[in-house]
């Protein structure tokens, strides 16, 4: 039983708050790696060497050391937007973020897209689809 019927969100694209400011991991699966390497017109081997690190046996994008910005954030915009990792395209609808009203309210403090004036209303089914994508 979920605590919500719908949730409202629209990414405020010039914001990029979720792409910087705190240390973290952006996990990549095989599909993400291939898509981004293709997009950059380099081999997956080159991509892995230049833009990723191995953490706990998984692959994550690297970030800028002094401010934790995502390596692909350029002028406050995602430079690989059309092939951005699933972790990014599904934010803020992550399991832990929608697990309770409190968790969602906490994320809202960091993401101005939640309940923004132009937000789209997502039904439970739509959110399930995003979670299972
Ligand atoms: S913090 Fe929210 S509104 Fe800002 S870029 Fe990320 S998803 Fe979009």
User: What does the pLDDT look like over 55-108, one tens digit per residue?
Assistant: 999 999 999 988 899 999 999 899 999 999 999 999 999 999 999 999 999 999
Whose tokens are 């954030």? That residue is 73
The structure tokens listed for 77 are 């915009």
Instruction: Give me the number of domains the chain comprises.
Output: 1
pLDDT digits (tens, 9 = 90+) for 4-25: 999 999 999 778 999 998 888 9
CB 29 within 8 A of CB 123: no
Closest ligand 1 atom number to CA of residue 19: 6
Cα distances (Å, whole numbers) of residue 113 to 12, 16, 79, 98, 121: 5, 10, 20, 15, 12
- How confident is the model at residue 52, as a pLDDT? 98
pLDDT at 111 over 90: yes
Average pLDDT, rounded, for the chain = 94
Residue 1 has pLDDT above 80, yes or no: no
Domain that holds residue 28: 6-131
> Is the distance from the beta carbon of residue 90 to the nearest atom of ligand 1 less than 6 Å?
no
Tell me the whole-structure pTM to 2 decimals: 0.89
For residue 97, the model assigns a pLDDT of 96
Position of tokens 């892995």? Answer: 48
Picking from 17, 44, 14, the residue whose alpha carbon sits closest to that of residue 28 is: 44
CB atoms within 10 A of CB 107: 20
CB contact set of 18 (below 8 Å; sequence gap of 6+): 88, 91, 92, 110, 111
CA 78 to chain CA mean position, Å: 11
Task: Please tell me the distance between residue 120's alpha carbon and the centre of ligand 1 in angstroms.
Answer: 14
Q: How far is CA 116 from CA 4, 7, 27, 124, in A?
A: 17, 11, 27, 19
122 occurs within a structural domain: yes
* Assigned domain for 71 exists: yes
Instruction: Say what percent of the chain tops pLDDT 90.
Output: 86
Residue 17 lies in a domain: yes
The residue whose C-alpha atom lies closest to atom 2 belonging to ligand 1 is 111
pLDDT at res. 27: 96
Is position 1 within any domain?
no
């Amino acid at each position: 039983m979920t605590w919500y019927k719908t949730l409202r969100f629209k990414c405020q694209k010039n914001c990029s708050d979720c792409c910087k400011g705190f240390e973290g991991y952006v996990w990549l699966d095989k599909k993400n790696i291939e898509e981004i390497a293709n997009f950059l017109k380099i081999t997956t081997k080159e991509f892995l060497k230049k833009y990723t690190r191995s953490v706990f046996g998984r692959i994550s994008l690297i970030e800028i050391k002094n401010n934790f910005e995502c390596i692909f954030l350029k002028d406050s915009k995602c430079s690989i937007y059309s092939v951005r990792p699933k972790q990014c395209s599904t934010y803020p609808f992550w399991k832990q973020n929608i697990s309770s009203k409190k968790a969602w309210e906490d994320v809202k403090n960091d993401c101005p897209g939640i309940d923004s004036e132009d937000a789209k209303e997502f039904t439970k089914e739509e959110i399930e689809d995003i979670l299972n994508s």
